Amino acid sequence: MLLNQFLLLAAALFCIGVYGVLVRKNAILVLMSVELILNAVNINLVAFGSLTDDVGGEVFALFTIAVAAAEVGIGLAIVLLMYRNRRSIDLSEADLMKG
């Protein structure tokens, strides 16, 4: 099995995710980018799991998926509240915590 290909795929996904998180102004898209990052990690977990013939990798990936679902739920709720209050989900405008 070609581990490198999986790792490269994961790295690419990860970079795309990070780029999205850092650059996109739309909160939803940022959340989606976070999902990309998490899935990049999942790919790594599964890949290494099957390389070492250890079911732990898959198990871990499943856990990640479950946690990610919860995270998205909370994230979307925050975005929704933000929209209700500000009529906008532009992250560059959300700087109430500015010091």
Residue 1 or 92 having the CB closest to another protein: 92
- Selected from 4, 70, 74, 92, the binder of another protein by CB under 8 A is 92
**Distance between CA atoms of residues 53 and 91, nearest Å:** 43
Please state, in angstroms and rounded to a whole number, the distance separating the CA atoms of residues 11 and 17.
Answer: 10
Torsion of CA 63, 69, 74, 76, to 10 degrees: 160
With CB under 8 A as the contact rule, the residue among 16, 18, 46, 79 that binds another protein is 18
Nearest CB to another protein, comparing residues 4 and 99: 99
Among 10, 13, 30, 36, binds another protein (CB under 8 A): 30
Q: How far is the CB of 30 from another protein (least distance, A)?
A: 8
Dihedral of the alpha carbons of 84, 87, 89, 90, in degrees to the nearest 10: -150
Interacting residue ranges for another protein, rule: CB under 8 A: 18, 21-23, 30, 91-92, 94-99
